[in-house]
Structure 1
Amino acid sequence: MTTSRIALVTGANQGLGRAFCDGLAARMDPQDLVLLTGRSQQRVADAAREVTQSSATRARVEGRVLDVTDTDAIARLAEDLRARYAGVDVVISNAVARLLPEESQAERADEFIDVSNAATHAILRSFGPVLRPGGRLLVVASSLGTLGHLDGRLHHLFDGASLDQVEYAVESWRSAIHHNTAQEAGWPRWLNVPSKVAQVAAVRAVAAERRARDLADGTLVAAVCPGMVDTATSRPWFTDYSQAQPPARAAEAVLDLVFAEHVDPALYGELVRFGKVLPWHDGTPPIEQDGMLVP
């Protein structure tokens, strides 16, 4: 990567996003800049100040207000970084809408899809072109993001799809939820499953177009699975949390990809967990047990 690197993390006020910022700020150089983003000005300012004041911090840290549901704001920020710094070196797309098992999935669908999927599409479209050679563009997904977790009737919507086709599939899913036809079409009730598959499919679509150029200059585009993380967002969804990691530990494997000297071509465009690829076609539809997801 070049000197004076620029890194950006979405959903960075707390939890895993905050841990990414902590780790970036500790491992980057004093002339580098970490942009900690979120939609609340006060929470962004507080978090950026706390990271700056940490004894482990070496890089500069700035807070930026960014509501990822505002796709125009994403595009403006990307253009601003192009104008100010000739691009960006690290983008970690991490924002997610918090959803509880007892809440109505259908009623929360628009917010969840906007934060997790429409924002992912916008970040890939806006930040892909401003990613500098040797950069890293990582989308945080989960192990539920492999195609086999969806009903087989839906596989054709995402397998080998372009980004436009992934967007169309997501909007079709959204429409089916609103028209109460989602389950009969094979969509699971739990939003997180198709959302994660769509995120990984979007990454794969963009990576397929960029692969040769990116591998030639050491750039990595990938989806990442940090494993089970002990956060307020994820804790309500699992009955057994004994293997959950604190956010700082979960961030380490992802940050190792950021700071790796060389890009492993086998990881490019894939869903990566702890440095290993989760095969795209693997997985089985999860089941519900006592209101919880059992993968």
Structure 2
Amino acid sequence: MSFFRYPDGRDEPSVGPMSRVAVVTGATQGLGLALAEGLAQRLSTADTVYLTGRDVDRVRQAVDAMPAGGARVRGEIFDVGEPDSAARFAGLVRERHGGVDIVFGNAVMRVGPDDDPRVIIRPYTEVNNFGTTRLLRAFAPLVRDHGSLIVVASSLGTLHHLAPVLHSRFDGLTTLDEVDEQVAAWRDAVEDGSARAGAWPGFVNIPSKIAQVAAVRALATQRRDTDLARGILLAAVCPGMINTPTSALWWDVRDAPSPAQAATALLDLVLEPVKPEHYGELVRFGQVVPFKPETGHP
């Protein structure tokens, strides 16, 4: 099911071989919505932005609310928590456009302070983690020269926030299958209660974000040379604290940037020339956030 907002009132804008295609998951609210709107405003009328989400009404409303001008906005139903959805949607994009230029993996299941981790951990990892690795598998082969494949993560996604005894779970992984195996083992430990007796943090967002960054790093080990030769950026990004209702459940965000303000640095990252030092890393405000603590200091 598709919903459209065309830039100039025509039934179908002209789309040529140089037209760019962008995909944003989790785009019906917050940062995802701001990313879709920002891309629509900063790309040309020949380009297409896919605003995706899992709820039909919210996708339609988000597309209808897009400001006029800029790229065509095309709303599509895409639930990253469904096992076959990423491959299916990637196939649709390939059939329509032949490839993709910008992908923001932003879909997330939110967790609140009152949620029982044992109850929510299975659907939570299905969206946040397995949804991420499915997206990477499906869209990495479609990214065109000078394109970007970005996973929205967090500065919590580093080994600094995990007990040293657990670092080996996510450090040095070289395939997405290995990442999925570690996520499944952690999920099962949370679900059966054994994680509470170990070194795992009670805040499930920490291992989840670490696994997202580990997934980017694992895929980067396989694609680095080819991607950099083609000017492609694969990275995780931290948008910083954002003033949203969900963040407000955990922190005082009254002085934090709005989603639109937070989106600016992410849009700059994908629309400006690629910096090789960003490849395969977690990037925050244009700077690399080290994944693991430095060693060897006296």
Take 1:271 and 1:234, find their aligned partners in 2: how far apart are those partners?
20
Query: Matched residue pairs, number?
Result: 277
The aligned residue for residue 34 of structure 1 is: 49
One-letter amino acid matched to 1:79: G
Q: Which of 264, 279, 283 is residue 268 of structure 1 equivalent to?
A: 279
The unaligned stretches of length 5 or more in structure 2 are 1-16
Q: Which of 136, 139, 145 is residue 157 of structure 2 equivalent to?
A: 145
With the length of structure 1 as denominator, give the TM-score of the two structures: 0.91
Report 1:179-190 matches (<5 A).
179-190=192-203
The aligned residue for residue 289 of structure 1 is: none
The unaligned stretches of length 5 or more in structure 1 are 284-295
The aligned residue for residue 292 of structure 1 is: none
Q: Is the 8 A contact 2:81 2:131 kept in 1?
A: yes
Per-residue deviation at 1:220? 0.2
Take 1:98 and 1:108, find their aligned partners in 2: how far apart are those partners?
10
Take 1:109 and 1:229, find their aligned partners in 2: how far apart are those partners?
24
Report 1:200-211 matches (<5 A).
200-211=213-224
Take 1:151 and 1:5, find their aligned partners in 2: how far apart are those partners?
43
Q: Is the 8 A contact 2:243 2:255 kept in 1?
A: no
Is 2:25 the counterpart of 1:10?
yes
Q: Which of 83, 108, 124 is residue 96 of structure 1 equivalent to?
A: 108
> Per-residue displacement from partner, 1:263-295 (whole Å, max 9, x unpaired)?
111111100000000011149xxxxxxxxxxxx
Per-residue deviation at 1:183? 2.5
Q: Is the 8 A contact 1:228 1:243 kept in 2?
A: no
Q: Is the 8 A contact 2:24 2:32 kept in 1?
A: yes
> Per-residue displacement from partner, 1:188-241 (whole Å, max 9, x unpaired)?
111100000000000000111111111111100000000000112222111x32
One-letter amino acid matched to 2:32: G
Identical counterparts, % of pairs: 49
One-letter amino acid matched to 1:6: V
Report 1:224-243 matches (<5 A).
224-238=237-251, 240-243=252-255
One-letter amino acid matched to 1:116: N
Q: Is the 8 A contact 1:23 1:255 kept in 2?
A: yes
Take 2:62 and 2:76, find their aligned partners in 1: how far apart are those partners?
11
Q: Which of 92, 109, 121 is residue 109 of structure 1 equivalent to?
A: 121
Q: Is the 8 A contact 1:166 1:198 kept in 2?
A: yes
Q: Is the 8 A contact 1:157 1:165 kept in 2?
A: no
SS of the residue 1:108 aligns to: helix
SS of the residue 1:134 aligns to: strand
SS of the residue 1:107 aligns to: helix
Take 1:179 and 1:108, find their aligned partners in 2: how far apart are those partners?
12
Alignment root-mean-square deviation, CA: 1.3
